Homo-oligomer: A and B are copies of this chain.
């Protein structure tokens, strides 16, 4: 029953077969590479911790999507905002939140980023303007109207990055959000992480017209499609969109990528073939970036090994922190529910 997945034709933004031309400092490039490696490692370890029952609930990883994650989030400035969805471990890490607080959240502990209340789908870091992961498909999208509006209202030079899956684009909330973002010329960049599937459903089974970036026009936005396995291509597309956003033109970016694992830990992903997965793994975003960098003499094997070791250490330390952190106090069950609730009434 499984349909052959058509690979969408990409704009020629891929740097794979071009001589890489980097205008960035080596330091910056290493930092991007490190962040991608850190996310990969974090997800690997998280998955393992899940199988060891240290983590529960739904658990969706960014395996395979690291270029899209890092390419869209790392260019942001401190004042910029992010509104994300449940597949967001990598998003908050790319934003700079210490993985130990993220891991503590996955472990459901008091010093997790949501104090153990949120878990995998509901990571949050206000200090980094990371406004959370949300679990209702497309439900996060209308929030971005308000965040973008708020920047304009307060007269601040802030951009909002709205992240969503491609499956979410069939939902009505996506339409209302994008129409209003376009209508009000809000400084919002919507990135559709098109990993080709929403659970077991291909984009060809969920969208009458699967070329999602083309919807930009209908929403009064600039539309672009980018090879989401190429971090530098994503980054450039994002930087262009940021320039436009600051001038009051929102963008809709469709990043073509792939999730290596099932939809969540619970999904064996039998709806797709091993060959399909393998063909995507062959253009692994981390390996590909490594090849680009090393072709341009911007990274050595030793440097890479050092990075790998350092992220391994960091993630192990995160696990240690999480595992030794305290559980929330059950007497605090009603904490955070209301601000200043009135006394003596039934809430």
Closest to A215 in B: B218
Residues of B within 8 A of A220 (CB): 208-209
Instruction: Report if A115 contacts B (CB, 8 A).
Output: no
Bound-state Cα–Cα, A183 to B220, Å: 23
| CB neighbors of B among A163-206 (8 A) | 170-176, 178-183, 205-206
Expressed in whole angstroms, the minimum distance between the Cβ of A39 and any Cβ of chain B is 32
A183 in contact with B171 given A215-B218, A218-B215 (CB within 8 Å): no
Do B183 and A176 touch (CB < 8 A)? no
Bound-state Cα–Cα, A209 to B180, Å: 10
Binary CB contact string for chain A from 207 to 249 against chain B (1 if under 8 A, 0 otherwise): 1110000110111110000000000000000000000000000
Expressed in whole angstroms, the minimum distance between the Cβ of A203 and any Cβ of chain B is 11
Residues of B within 8 A of A205 (CB): 183
Expressed in whole angstroms, the minimum distance between the Cβ of A115 and any Cβ of chain B is 33
Determine which residue in A171, A218, A220 has the highest number of CB atoms from chain B within 10 A of its CB, and name it: A218
Closest to A176 in B: B172
Bound-state Cα–Cα, A221 to B207, Å: 12
Bound-state Cα–Cα, A208 to B174, Å: 14
Residues of B within 8 A of A214 (CB): 217-218
Bound-state Cα–Cα, A214 to B218, Å: 8
**Chain A contact residues, CB within 8 Å of chain B:** 170-176, 178-183, 205-209, 214-215, 217-221
